[in-house]
Amino acid sequence: MALIVQKYGGTSVGTTERIKVVAERVKKARANGDDVVVVLSAMSGQTTKLLGLAKEVGGTHRGREMDVLLSSGEQVSIALLAMALEDIGCKAKSFLGYQVPITTNSSFGAARIESIDTSAIDAVLKEGLVAVVAGFQGVDSDGNITTLGRGGSDTTAVAIASALKADLCEIYTDVEGIFTTDPGVCEDARKLTKISYEEMLEMSSLGAKVLQTRSVEFANKYNVTLMVRSSFTDTDGTLVTKEDSDMESVVVAGITYNKDEAKISVLRVPDKPGIAVKLFKPLTEADINVDMIVQNISHDAHTDMTFTVTKADFDRAMEIVRSSAKELEASKVIGNSDIAKVSIVGAGMRSHAGIASKMFEVLSENDINIQMISTSEIKVSCVIDEARTEEAVRALHAAFELGTQEAKEEVL
Ligand code: ADP
Ligand code: ASP
Ligand code: MG
């Protein structure tokens, strides 16, 4: 008998019909003799709809009330699944975050899980019931409801699997696993059998939203093996696990993109100590994360600084930078939110030269202008015009021979 955590994302519970299908799948696992804890997202579109409602009444910032609102989506889906399970003779009990409890810090909208008390779930499993837990939410030490950031149900599932020492954590979604790139953008994307935590971490943080970045960090830290698979088919998915010798020994594992970026340039700032802190400290104080930063070589003791933030933070960041511009003695602040970041990721890049230049060449052959570049040991990212994103992803995917087409040719 095994203990399995199954997480179902928004599309997997998007309608009551889909919830019934999930109930059957859970029942099947129970019939195998396994204990099952289910973690659910809200029905698809629900969280975004709630954000829209907040905007209509002037609520745009992360905060206590936003989390009270956003957490309500998961309350609906867990209750519906528990009912659907009871209806087919599978006893179940639902839990909101505070009922588990899943304790987090107080960073509303981006809370981090600090501890999970497993006694209530253990007791329910002992009675032979299925525990159905709301993803994406927790409670802070003052009893406030918190949420973990978009896609946060993945993190709830991994954290619960780790706390319960589950044998497996299955992430059910609307694609059959982790692909070499987003299968929604590139038809030729190929499903991977296995991927290392390290590569997955990089893919997620560079935009592959199939797993929330934090969930991969957690899985890596606590050694939780993940199986990402479809709730629409019975096909095997992708294992996310420790790097091992039979993992595909490729240089580039995948291509990712992130359209949720915007660029701000501060022109002709005096090139002297203290400029970076004057520019970035007010942004940090406003809880705005800065991603890529480029500082140009200085001419006549002046330099330009360019950096990226999320699109959601763009307007606020522009306001803050404009108000610091005077103190910075900058001549101009320019913003552009029509940008995207495309990246190539692969652990094999560590030992291979020339990968970055091949990426630049592919983009240039397609007449796609590179606005910013950033590299690490296992990735290269370029900021480009947002409208060219899909084209860039497909061209890079083909040039690095990642698709099913190439795999087929290799076999022949
Ligand atoms: P869920 O609602 O199940 O959490 P998400 O929408 O958060 O699902 O994530 C699944 C989506 O991630 C897929 O539909 C796919 O478009 C996208 N995606 C992006 N990159 C990848 C990738 N490399 N492999 C698989 N899916 C990806
Ligand atoms: N419902 C939340 C969201 O849409 C959490 C999740 O689906 O993982 O972001
Ligand atoms: Mg998701």
Domain positions in the chain are: 3-174, 256-411
pLDDT at 300: 86
Q: Does the C-beta of 182 come closer than 6 Å to ligand 1? A: yes
pLDDT at 325: 87
Q: Does the C-beta of 10 come closer than 6 Å to ligand 2? A: yes
The 10 Å Cβ neighbour count of residue 157 is 34
Q: Does the C-beta of 152 come closer than 6 Å to ligand 2? A: yes
pLDDT at 229: 98
Domain 3-174 - what CATH class?
A: alpha beta
Which tens digits make up the pLDDT trace of 385-398? Answer: 999 999 999 999 99
How many angstroms separate the alpha carbon of residue 382 from the centre of ligand 3? 24
Crossing angle of helices 72-87 and 46-56, in 10° steps, is: 150
* Single-letter residue type at 400: F
* Main-chain dihedrals φ then ψ at residue 130, nearest 5 degrees: -95, 130
Residue whose CB lies within 8 A of the most ligand 1 atoms, among 7, 148, 171, 182, for a mutation test: 182
Residue whose CB lies within 8 A of the most ligand 1 atoms, among 21, 136, 173, for a mutation test: 173
Q: Atom 8 (ligand 2): residue with closest C-alpha?
A: 151
Under 8 Å between Cβ of 371 and 263: yes
pLDDT at 35: 97
How many angstroms separate the alpha carbon of residue 214 from the centre of ligand 2? 13
Q: Does the C-beta of 153 come closer than 6 Å to ligand 2? A: yes
**DSSP type of residue 179:** B
For residue 146, the cross-strand partners are: 138
Which tens digits make up the pLDDT trace of 142-176? Answer: 999 999 999 999 999 999 999 999 999 999 999 99
pLDDT at 406: 63
Q: Atom 4 (ligand 2): residue with closest C-alpha?
A: 47
**Residues ≥6 apart with Cβ < 8 Å to 249:** 348
The SS3 call for residue 287 is coil
Under 8 Å between Cβ of 175 and 230: yes
Residues of the chain with pLDDT under 50: 412
Return the residue matching tokens 């129970």. Answer: 30
How many angstroms separate the alpha carbon of residue 188 from the centre of ligand 1? 15
Alpha carbon 109 to chain centroid distance? 14
User: Ligand 1, closest atom to CA 173?
Assistant: 3
pLDDT at 200: 96
Domain 256-411 - what CATH class?
A: alpha beta
- Cis peptide leading into 273, omega within 30 of 0? no
Under 8 Å between Cβ of 78 and 171: no
Q: Which of 259, 255, 391, 257 is nearest to 338 (CA)?
A: 259
Q: What are the tokens at 22?
A: 């999930």
C-alpha to C-alpha distance for 351 and 321, rounded to whole angstroms:
40
Q: Atom 11 (ligand 1): residue with closest C-alpha?
A: 210
**Residues ≥6 apart with Cβ < 8 Å to 176:** 191, 229, 230, 233, 235, 237
The 10 Å Cβ neighbour count of residue 345 is 28
C-alpha to C-alpha distance for 378 and 380, rounded to whole angstroms:
7
pLDDT at 267: 94
Q: What are the tokens at 56?
A: 């209509």
How many angstroms separate the alpha carbon of residue 169 from the centre of ligand 3? 15
Under 8 Å between Cβ of 309 and 294: no
User: Ligand 2, closest atom to CA 153?
Assistant: 8
Residue whose CB lies within 8 A of the most ligand 1 atoms, among 210, 394, 404, for a mutation test: 210
How many angstroms separate the alpha carbon of residue 71 from the centre of ligand 1? 21
Q: What are the tokens at 333?
A: 């602040």
C-alpha to C-alpha distance for 379 and 349, rounded to whole angstroms:
7
Q: Does the C-beta of 97 come closer than 6 Å to ligand 2? A: no
* Single-letter residue type at 25: R
Under 8 Å between Cβ of 81 and 13: yes
How many angstroms separate the alpha carbon of residue 207 from the centre of ligand 1? 10
